[in-house]
Amino acid sequence: MVAKRNNKMLFGATAGILFLGVLAGCGDNGGSSGGSGGKVTLRMIESLTSPARTTVLNEMISKFEAANPNIKVELISPPFDQADNKIKTILGAKQTLDVLEVRDLTVSEFSNNGYLEPLNDYVKNWPDYATEVDVAKSVATLNDKLYFITNGMYQRQMFYRKDWFQEKGIPAPTNYQEMVDAAIKLTDPSKNRYGFSFRGGAGANGVPDTIIMNYNFDNIDHDDSTFLKDGKTMYSTPEAKQALELYVKLYKEGSPKDSINWGYQEQVQAFTSGVTGILLQDPDAIPALMEKMDVNTIGTAPMPKGPSGKAFTATGGGGWGITSYSKHKDEAFKLIAFLSSPEQNTYFAKKTALIPIHKSASEDPFFQTDMYKTLLLMASKPDEFVNLKANTKYPGTSQWGQVAMESGQSLLLGNVSVDDTLKKWDQFWADQRANLNK
């Protein structure tokens, strides 16, 4: 019963080349092909692409097409690092597109530009929506409008090398100071061994934002989590300076120097290849870890806490939406409903190591394994590990990663100070709020 209850709390608390060829054939501004009574072709694009994920998605689409012989689906799968920009290009030009993968990072920009069809009316007659967990609905909703059906959720945990920690006689870190101290102790450049899998390239803002948020734990506005209860940004406080100085120390004393340019792939590869000993990542890293490592050397632990003794955990996610200008919206939602059914979504979550969206999936034995147990633990202590909805309502959210990466690299290279970096970040978000309220 406890395990069952914890699982329910998890899911309740808690997201190239072919492309160019396809684009060449979709330069018109109309809808997808298919006249009345004829076969309809839906054009669909994914964002969080990988070859393995695309294979799974194509398999699911084939099942849909077999069950719906009057509908054909053309899946566009750009390289991951280019996908969101490709989607923006297509939407901006209103090139043919019916179904698109919307992320918590892009939903505000896409909806503000009128690219997305609200799905509120569609889900009224979709019985599977009732079994979605609340957090999956929340991730996909902005200003009471549902813009996509979440296809999986992300929540970070700590992966660490149990054998390295045992060699040094140190326990798994429970807070950020301990994590930095442990990373430094594990680091031995002469052995090409470093404590932390640092990410200074694309997606670099994840760690410093999380540390700063946790160092401001008691004053964070839970409804607008980049800001404090007094309306100032979280980057404006002495606690933010303390947190960012700790982040710089983590890089300089506990991480490989070239990690200043690492993205997701390099970060995970460094951990699986035995170069680094601590990795903060979402469950989608699990397949690579299990494939390339001795699982007996992998430990998992909750996300580190801040000085308050508590930690914010942010559940993110992406999912399937419909373009506002699609000429085949009913067929598009039929596809989305199929992909998002409890059976298909649980299958997709297993294959791609995501947290599934339906309550029933929590009872699946697959999600009882060691790799997921820390997620269960964090979810069972909601007062200690407090879930915050990602702050996605500002149009500048999608630009923040680039701004934070470039300015963060300058900081790590010693070209700018901690104070000046925080001023830049503070100004960026203050401007976002001011522009939103105009």
- DSSP string over 180-248: HHHHHHH-BGGGTBEEE----STTTTHHHHHHHHHHTGGGB-TTSTTBBTTS-BGGGSHHHHHHHHHHH
Please report the domains of the chain, with CATH numbers, ordered by start residue: 40-154+316-387 (3.40.190.10), 157-313+394-437 (3.40.190.10)
Cα separation of 250 and 146, whole Å?
39
Please compute the mean of the pLDDT values over residues 356-371 and round it to a whole number.
82
pLDDT at 212: 98
Q: What is the mean pLDDT of the chain?
A: 89
**What share of the chain has pLDDT > 70, as a percent?**
90
pLDDT at 33: 52
pLDDT at 34: 53
Cα separation of 330 and 32, whole Å?
12
On whether the CB atoms of residues 98 and 31 are closer than 8 A, the answer is yes
Distances from the Cα of 413 to the Cα of 380, 418, 424, angstroms = 40, 11, 16
On whether the CB atoms of residues 311 and 303 are closer than 8 A, the answer is yes
Please compute the mean of the pLDDT values over residues 24-47 and round it to a whole number.
65
**What share of the chain has pLDDT > 90, as a percent?**
71
140 phi-psi bin (left φ>0, alpha ψ -120 to 50, beta other):
alpha
Please compute the mean of the pLDDT values over residues 212-222 and round it to a whole number.
96
- Give buried/exposed letters for 75-106 (b at 16+ CB in 10 A, else e): bbbbebeebbebbbebbeeebbbbbbbbbbbb
pTM here? Answer: 0.72
**Contacts from 117-120 at CB under 8 Å and sequence distance 24+?**
117/321, 117/322, 117/323, 117/324, 117/326, 117/329, 118/145, 118/146, 118/147, 119/146, 119/147, 119/148, 119/149, 119/321, 119/322, 119/333, 120/145, 120/146
Q: 142 - beta bridge partners?
A: 145
pLDDT at 37: 59
Indicate if the pLDDT at residue 6 is higher than 90.
no
pLDDT at 272: 98
Residue 391, helix vs strand vs coil: coil
Place of tokens 């080349």: 17
Cα separation of 282 and 15, whole Å?
9
Indicate if the pLDDT at residue 368 is higher than 80.
no
Question: Both tokens of residue 314?
Answer: 């942010």
Indicate if the pLDDT at residue 117 is higher than 70.
yes
Q: What is the CA radius of gyration of the chain?
A: 22
Indicate if the pLDDT at residue 98 is higher than 90.
yes
What's the pLDDT band for 8 if we cut at 50, 70, 90? very low
Q: Which of 310-319, 389-398, 426-435 has the highest mean pLDDT?
A: 426-435
pLDDT at 24: 31
Nearest-CA neighbor of 206 among 79, 116, 314?
Answer: 314
Q: Tens of pLDDT along 257-287?
A: 999 999 999 999 999 999 999 999 998 899 8
Residue 355, helix vs strand vs coil: strand
